[in-house]
């Protein structure tokens, strides 16, 4: 087994040759090199054995980095095909899928979600389990309204995380309820959730290097490239220990398994209107307003916020002690950041259950400061 010093310092960089793309991009090589250098330190500082990062500039991948190793012995270098559980980035796929299904008349987002066959029992469990997703008080003292099981909650409410208290009046990120959207769709159509997501997102975008859950019959090659998960372990000499592979079943909340390159192509497909027409894509990135008339920090499967005059749309992904991910777009600038890692070192320690503050993530902030100009 190689020593920890070898493990931390021996870094394998995989750089996609982007001669033509770089020629078209207005971003300087100096900025790209500065960010690449930052990534090397970021990976070590945050104990991420395998880190994959992509940057898109107006439809072109201008950076594709595979940094580190997929295994504990530093024998399997990260490559451009290395895949990860993208966790809640799956919700962005769900937003596009459901909006497209509604546009084609398959569903109505104002239909009653609570007709789901197991909702009564599941809601009762959630409100009595002590889970914050049933209501309660966050560590910072923020009061979360109780989830009420005896009132109508629409698909739209669930998709926009507006299910607490009086549905449609406030935002609270509730992945447990959100995940059941796929069950509702399967009960109310004759097709699987994988079928609909493939039909409306994966197929029209012609995505490769992606699997819709580990049971995806077309995703076998992707599964062979998974970077196994690790957890931070202070009792180990190198601070890392192998972790258990999380649940990789596909549902509305999670299940997408992908490489950074695949998610970069997903972002490009969104920009090029191959998944949704521009008007519907803009709807996907337009949040509703709360009871006071202020925009909420979440739209249809995406967090939405403003940073120094720039609209940002984004989503993180997190499997505790296993994986973390980030998909950040600055649509007005044509820029996208994708980052995936096989520990949860990418996750930022802010309360994203009630707000959108992606600039609190150091990697996201560095990207914004280097590539997205302040207005």
Does the residue 117 lie in any domain?
Answer: yes
Smallest CA-to-CA distance from 300 within 167, 88, 111, 157 is with 157
Does the residue 45 lie in any domain?
Answer: yes
| Residue 120 and residue 229 in one domain | no
User: Is residue 231 within 8 Å of 278, Cβ to Cβ?
Assistant: no
Q: Supply the pLDDT for residue 140.
A: 86
Q: Supply the pLDDT for residue 375.
A: 55
| Residue 123 and residue 167 in one domain | yes
| Residue 79 and residue 112 in one domain | no
| Residue 55 and residue 112 in one domain | no
Does the residue 201 lie in any domain?
Answer: no
pLDDT (tens digit per residue) in 257-310:
999 999 999 999 999 999 999 999 999 999 999 888 899 999 999 999 999 999
Question: Residue 313 is part of which domain span?
Answer: 4-85+217-269+306-371
Domain of 319, CATH number, reads 3.40.710.10
What tokens appear for 357 in the block?
């503050």
Indicate the residue among 188, 205, 232 that finishes a domain: 188
Does the residue 241 lie in any domain?
Answer: yes
| Residue 311 and residue 174 in one domain | no
| Residue 184 and residue 317 in one domain | no
Does the residue 248 lie in any domain?
Answer: yes
Indicate the residue among 169, 188, 207 that finishes a domain: 188
- What total of structural domains would you count in the chain? 2
- Nearest 5°: the CA angle 152, 157, 159 is 135
Q: Supply the pLDDT for residue 236.
A: 86
Per-residue model confidence as pLDDT tens for the chain (375 residues): 333 333 333 344 444 434 334 446 789 999 999 999 999 999 999 999 999 999 999 999 999 999 999 887 878 999 999 999 999 999 999 999 999 999 999 999 999 999 999 999 999 999 999 999 999 999 888 899 999 999 999 999 999 999 999 999 999 999 999 999 999 999 999 999 999 999 999 999 999 999 999 999 999 999 999 999 999 998 887 889 999 999 889 999 999 999 999 999 999 999 999 999 999 999 999 999 988 889 999 999 999 999 999 999 999 999 999 999 999 999 999 999 999 999 999 987 655 799 999 999 999 999 999 999 875
| Residue 238 and residue 184 in one domain | no
pLDDT (tens digit per residue) in 81-102:
999 999 999 999 999 999 999 9
Task: Quote the CA–CA distance of 182 and 184 in Å, as a whole number.
Answer: 5
pTM summary value: 0.93
Reported for 298-301, long-range contacts at CB under 8 A and 24+ positions apart, including other chains, are: 298/160, 298/161, 298/171, 298/173, 298/356, 299/95, 299/160, 300/95, 300/98, 300/99, 300/159, 300/160, 301/91, 301/92, 301/93, 301/94, 301/95, 301/96, 301/98, 301/159
Range list of H helices, the chain: 4-9, 19-24, 29-45, 90-103, 119-128, 155-159, 175-178, 181-188, 193-197, 220-223, 260-271, 278-284, 362-371
Does the residue 291 lie in any domain?
Answer: no
3-state secondary structure at position 38: helix
| Residue 58 and residue 150 in one domain | no
Does the residue 44 lie in any domain?
Answer: yes
| Residue 322 and residue 363 in one domain | yes
| Residue 255 and residue 367 in one domain | yes
Residues in contact with 66: Cβ distance below 8 Å, sequence separation at least 6, in sequence order: 12, 13, 14, 50, 51, 52, 77, 78, 79, 80, 82, 260
Structural Rg of the chain based on CA atoms:
20
Task: Quote the CA–CA distance of 237 and 217 in Å, as a whole number.
Answer: 40
| Residue 77 and residue 226 in one domain | yes
Does the residue 205 lie in any domain?
Answer: no
């Amino acid at each position: 087994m190689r020593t920890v010093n070898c493990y931390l310092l021996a870094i394998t960089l995989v750089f996609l040759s982007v001669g033509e793309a770089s020629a078209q991009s207005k971003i300087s090589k100096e900025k790209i090199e500065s960010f690449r250098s930052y990534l090397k330190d970021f990976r070590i500082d945050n104990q991420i054995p395998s880190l994959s990062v992509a940057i898109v500039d107006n439809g072109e991948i201008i950076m594709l980095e595979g940094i580190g190793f997929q295994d504990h012995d530093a024998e399997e270098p990260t490559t451009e095909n290395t895949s990860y559980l993208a966790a809640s980035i799956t919700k962005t796929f769900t937003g596009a899928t459901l909006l497209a299904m509604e546009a084609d008349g398959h569903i109505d987002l104002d239909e009653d979600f609570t007709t789901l066959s197991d909702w009564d029992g599941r809601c009762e469990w959630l409100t009595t389990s002590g889970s914050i997703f049933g209501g309660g008080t966050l560590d910072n003292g923020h009061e979360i309204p109780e989830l009420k099981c005896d009132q109508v909650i629409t698909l739209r409410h669930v998709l926009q995380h507006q299910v607490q208290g009086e549905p449609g009046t406030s935002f609270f990120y509730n992945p447990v309820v959100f995940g059941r959207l796929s069950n509702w769709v399967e009960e109310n159509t004759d097709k699987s959730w994988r079928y609909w997501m493939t039909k409306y997102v994966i197929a029209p975008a012609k995505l490769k290097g992606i699997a819709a859950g580990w049971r995806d019959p077309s995703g076998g090659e992707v599964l062979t490239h998974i970077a196994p998960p690790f957890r931070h372990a202070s009792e180990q000499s190198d601070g890392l220990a192998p972790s258990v592979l999380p649940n990789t079943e596909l549902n509305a909340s999670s299940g997408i398994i992908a490489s950074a390159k695949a998610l970069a192509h997903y972002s490009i497909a969104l920009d090029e209107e191959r998944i949704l027409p521009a008007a519907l894509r803009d709807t996907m990135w337009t949040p509703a307003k709360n009871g006071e008339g202020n925009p909420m920090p979440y739209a249809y499967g995406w967090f939405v916020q403003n940073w120094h005059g720039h609209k940002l749309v984004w989503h993180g992904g997190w499997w505790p002690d296993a994986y973390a991910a980030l998909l950040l777009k600055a649509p007005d600038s044509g820029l996208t950041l994708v980052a995936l890692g096989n520990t949860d070192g990418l996750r930022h320690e802010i309360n994203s259950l009630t707000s959108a503050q992606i600039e609190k993530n150091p990697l996201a902030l560095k990207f914004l400061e280097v590539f997205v100009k302040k207005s």
